[in-house]
Chains A and B, each alone.
Chain A
Amino acid sequence: MNNVINPNEQVNQETFIHKLHQKLGASFAPFAHWLMPMGYGSIKDEVASVRKDCGVFDVSHMGEFIIHGPDAEEFINAVICNDFEKCPVGKAQYSPILNNAGFCLDDVIVYHLAPQFVLMCVNASNTDKIWHWLNELKNTPNAKIPSHFTLKNITAQTALFALQGPQAESKLLSVFTQLIKTHQPLVSNNHLDIEHFTSMVQSLPYYGVMTVNSNLDDHENFCYIARTGYTGEDGFEIFLTKSMAEIFWENLMEQGVKPCGLAARDCLRLEVCYPLYGHEIDESVTPLDAGLKWTVKLQKKYFVGQDALINYKTKWKQIKFSIPKAIPRQEYLIKNSDGKTVGTVTSGTLSPTLNLGIALGRVEAQTNLEQKLFVAIREQLLPITILSQPFLQGGHK
């Protein structure tokens, strides 16, 4: 029979502006139990727009938590392995979150919005897991983890757009100018002055974050803007109250910003070798196995998983490689010239910018990288070129 919904099938959530994506002709696919726009036409064109001009991604499926109170900063520093003491108010920081055994539960960005006030953005696939984890850490008595703060899950009220590309700053300013002209509540309730706003955006450094709303307890009128992103280009991640999502998106479209989907997003992040949870990192690896040693600050006072990582002997190391014609994909095997498997591809695609097959892979830690290595694609063993730098630098500040 047709049209009978299997009661055991989980229905995928739609983002706030699902209808606008449909209007633009998006093709959708489920991702982390969300029905997400994969693309709006040509993935190649979307990637090119971000590298040369400006594209926007609706990533409202991601999770957002607020950590607020006197112990907020100390709690964050205990939860992440990077050093939050090096992240002053007005800056953001990338870090994995580990379990007690040192394995990766997620990778997140924490935004230091104000004293005692931190925003954490988590992967959509890990929203529930990390929410429960943070609550467990807060509520389990532990001399090393403080508890004088509140946790708030604002995922259901928060739209998130990633505006990326060399023209992102100019487009962001044009959109806000329009929002002011048309008296949108977000800007009028926050008494937004365009000159002041412009100067703040222009001087926002890479990984800087600013708030449009002065009253951070006001959950109806919030807007946080960070100079962060997942593409390697200059750009912004804009967290805003869901009631503004449609108007904000439509203004972006009016400014000629190209709508881009998750397929293009995956190409862009791979071109600059950014990891994706579920691929380069998961609960079977520590950050030290996954090319993320730079995020692990063992000398910190304390973080969850620290004990396990002191004297940890890495099992894996991360490689980046290209092949001239074919396309490496996740789970394809990496072999040496004896045909022995030494690792697997964790992410792979065709780079539309470079016109090469590119991949991130995980090989046994002791693998000699001077030898010839190969990727097995169907019946062929194709020689891989290992790179020491990302495939692309990108134009981020």
Chain B
Amino acid sequence: MSTKIPQQLKYTAEHEWIMLDSNGIAVVGITDFAQNSLGDVVYVELPATGKKLTKDQPFGVVESIKSVSDLYAPITGEVIEKNTSVETTPELINTDCYANWLLKIKPADIAELNLLLSASQYQQQVEGK
């Protein structure tokens, strides 16, 4: 099974992707590997605008019929926006997990982005070493 791993994004070991937009805001979502493992996504719980997140701490959940998966903050920062379309229509994550982002975060420390995995590092992780 070949999983989609866009080259221009960064990744976490917890199967999230992250990219910095032109305004320096970090956009976050879950990867193709994650949405495929979950199966039908039926519920998403995201933090409100203004909430402060700490790197590696859980900030919300993505749920399939069978299970609850915690989402972990890839970086420290403040929630600028959450994707309400995904909360209303969770299946969008299965349809296109890269177009349908979950959160926009204002990073507290840009240097944390260097701790993330590159596309090829993430690929190595999901496809076995």
Contacts and interface: CB of A to CB of B under 8 A. Distances in A.
Interface stretch (B27-35, B38-46, B106-114, B117-125): B38-46
Interface stretch (A37-45, A165-173, A384-392): A37-45
Contact of A349 (B39, B40, B65, B128): B65
Given A39-B39, A44-B40, A329 B45 contact: no
Contacts of A43: 39-40, 64-66
Interface in A253-282: 263, 266-267
Nearest to A47: B65
A326 B128 CA distance: 34
Interface in A42-69: 42-44
Contacts of A327: 42-43, 63, 68
A121 interface: no
A27 B65 CA distance: 14
Of listed B42, B61, B66, residue having the most chain A CB within 10 A: B66
Interface in A330-385: 349-350, 352, 378
Interface string B32-71: 0000000110110100000000000000010111101000
A251 to B, nearest CB: 28
Contacts of B68: 327, 329
A350 B63 contact: yes
Contacts of B66: 38, 43, 263, 266, 349
Interface in A272-297: none
Nearest to B37: A27
Contact of B65 (A325, A326, A352, A378): A352
Nearest to B87: A325
Contacts of B45: 326, 378
A263 B66 CA distance: 6
Of listed A2, A38, A327, A378, residue having the most chain B CB within 10 A: A327
Contacts of A267: 65
Contacts of B64: 43
Given A2-B128, A263-B65, 11 more contacts: A38-B66, A42-B39, A44-B65, A326-B43, A326-B45, A327-B42, A327-B43, A349-B65, A349-B66, A350-B63, A350-B65
* Smallest CB-CB A-B distances: 5 pairs: A350-B42, A43-B65, A263-B66, A327-B43, A44-B40
